[in-house]
Each structure stands twice: as structure tokens, then as C-alpha cells.
Amino acid sequence: MEKNISTFKELQEICEKTGKPVWEIIQTQEAEFAEVSVDEIRSLVKRSLDAMKESIKAGLKSKEMSISGMCGDDCDRLQKRFENHQALFGKTFEKITTYALAVIEENLRMGKIAACPTAGSCAIVPSVLIGVSEELEISEDDQINALITAGAIGRIISNKVALAGAVAGCQAECGVASAMSAGALTQIRGGNTDQILQAVALALKNLLGLTCDPVCGLVEIPCVKRNPFLAIHAVTASELALADVKSKIPIDEVVDALEQTGNLMSPMLKESSQAGLATTRTALDLKEKLFK
């Protein structure tokens, strides 16, 4: 390929011109840039996929609290709930939500996770990708393909917006992770390129303005519970896209809006813990107890 794919429009045009899916285009491009074989690229992606699966397994088994003592046992609570009461939306919903809590809590314990795209949003892609793949018996090759697509989505967005709460708020972390998950899930379920990109747009545009206001300056509150919520958000976007519900605003323009929103957002709401939830009365009490 002549140049790096920097927009979703370019990606879609190449897919339509070649008749190839997103993952195939991207793995070829990555192999050319790195001057390695496609098999080596896929092997690297498999390592990330395996790390995600390991973090799920470890998180499901542990009730160890974070160093702050504020988080760490919510996954266990949810598992116990589902042992006695089936989730309203069924087994897949149960897996996605428990897997999301498992991974993000494993991150709090300094366990091994795959930052996808960041540590604070590390549970969204794994919970959706692996939870659904288990339920639908998706092959490992197709899971790798989906993860390649998710990575491509995150990289293209990062061409305009740094994926960091300190730069553009949580819309650039959990928001982008949800969009990545929506695209990957749509691919797994047989969606075409346009449907994949519609899912990305639908997920991302409905999270614009999401602030980063961590309590006590830690990646715990509201980060932990935000992961399962936005994993399910990704599923909603995918379902709409697969029904050919389209975003009236093209995905590249949604990314422009993400960038603009991040620039307009107050620095006090971008990981500084100087406003929002971080300065509520309860949050300040927690901070005093923790750092006294």
C-alpha cells in the first residue's frame, strides 16, 4: 500500500475497491510497515487476545481489593447474583458484564491486562469480543480478525485525538473502546464494511462529552463500573448497525466532533480530579481518609 490509512473514508474506499474486509487490509498494511510476514502480525495479535483471556480468568477468581480498598469485589458480587438470578438479557449479557468487571478489577490489582486502547478502558473490548465469541462459538482466527479491526478503529481515531483522558476526557478512552468493540462485534456477526463503520459512529457519537473525573485521582471510581456499561453500549450500537440503522453524521465527522469536544472540555474535567464526581462531598471524604 502506498500510504498509511488515516481516515475511515479511505479505509472504506480501499475495502470497496479491493473487495477485501477491514482486517485483511489492515493486517497486510501492518506487515508491510513492520517488514514482517502477515503470520507474524497475527501472532502478535494472538498474544494480545491471549492476554485478554488470561485477565478474564484471573479476574473472575479474585476478590482481592485494590490498594485503596475502594474497589475489587464487584465482579464477585455480580457472579453471585447471576448464580441465583438469570440476567434479564440472558447469558451473553452476563458474560459481557462479569468479564468487564473481571478485567478492569484485575487492572486495579496490577495484574496483566491488554490496554485496549488504555488501561482505564481495558475491559470493554475483551468482554465484548470474548464473551460473545464464547457464546457464538467463534473461531480463534475470527477473534483475531475482529481484534485487528478493533485496533484499526482505535488507530484511525488516534490520528486526530490522543486516546487519553488527560487530553480529551473519557470519551477518548472508554468512548473509543466502546466504538472499537462495536465495530469488532459487528464484524463477528457478519456485518459488512459499511455496517462496521456505522456501528463505530453510532457508539462514539452517543458518548461525546464523557468527562474524566476520577475520584482520589485513581483509575477506580467511576472507571470500574463504566467499563461494563460501555461494553453493553457497544452491543446496542452493533445491533442498530446490523439492522442498517445509520448514523446521519459520518464517522470521520464524528471523530472531528470528538476532537473539538475534547478541546472545549475544561481541563478540570480531564483527569485532573478537580471537578465532577471527584469533588463531590463523598469523594472528598474518601480522599481525606485515603491520603490522611
Burial class of 147 by CB neighbour count within 10 A (0 to 12, 13 to 18, 19+): buried
Is residue 175 within 8 Å of 204, Cβ to Cβ? yes
What pLDDT does residue 54 have? 98
Give CA separation, 153 vs 10, 74, 150, in Å.
Answer: 12, 30, 5
Predicted local distance difference test score (pLDDT) of residue 3: 67
CB 170 within 8 A of CB 205: no
Q: What are the per-10-residue average pLDDT scores of the chain (292 residues)?
A: 83 97 97 97 98 98 96 98 97 98 97 97 98 98 98 98 98 98 98 98 98 97 98 98 98 98 98 98 96 86
Name the residue among 187, 174, 150 with its Cα closest to residue 223.
174
pLDDT of res. 231 = 98
Give residue 292's pLDDT.
Answer: 81
- Which domains does the chain show, CATH number per domain? 8-158+166-291 (1.10.4100)
Q: Which helix or strand (DSSP H or E) is residue 53 part of? A: helix 38-61
Report the C-alpha gap between 225 and 242 in whole angstroms. Answer: 27
